[in-house]
Amino acid sequence: MTSNVNKDISLQNSPVPSKEWLNYSEKDRINLVLSTLKSYNSFNFFEVLNADTNAFVTIKTEKNISASERGVLLLDLELKLKKEIDEAITVWLEPVGDKSKLRNLRGIEIKI
């Protein structure tokens, strides 16, 4: 049985942040990402929480996005940020707490 999985990509090194990205302050990196987000209507509801020197950009949103749409949207966002700002950027979405009213009424607490 042959596999169509290309394992070579798993052996590649991840891109490293550029010197330009590293020279920005965190506030400047956040503003840079924010300005890119605001230039696209499909991303203007995201809030940037941080953008660290490893090029990890953490965002959050209050908008309910279905799981099937969320993955594609985040990959599209990450691709645009990589093309426009820095190829090493990785987008992380802040986890949202449990919104189930029934579980919250029972007093069950899920620790993350």
Q: Does residue 6 lie in a domain region?
A: no
pLDDT of res. 96: 74
Which is higher by pLDDT, 107 or 42? 42
pLDDT of res. 101: 64
What is the rounded CA–CA span in Å between residue 65 and residue 72? 11
- pLDDT of 1 strictly over 60: no
Q: Does residue 43 lie in a domain region?
A: yes
Query: What total number of domains does the chain contain?
Result: 1
Q: Does residue 23 lie in a domain region?
A: yes
- pLDDT of 9 strictly over 80: no
Q: Does residue 99 lie in a domain region?
A: no
Tens digits of per-residue pLDDT, 78-96?
999 999 999 999 999 998 7
CATH code (residue 57): 3.30.300
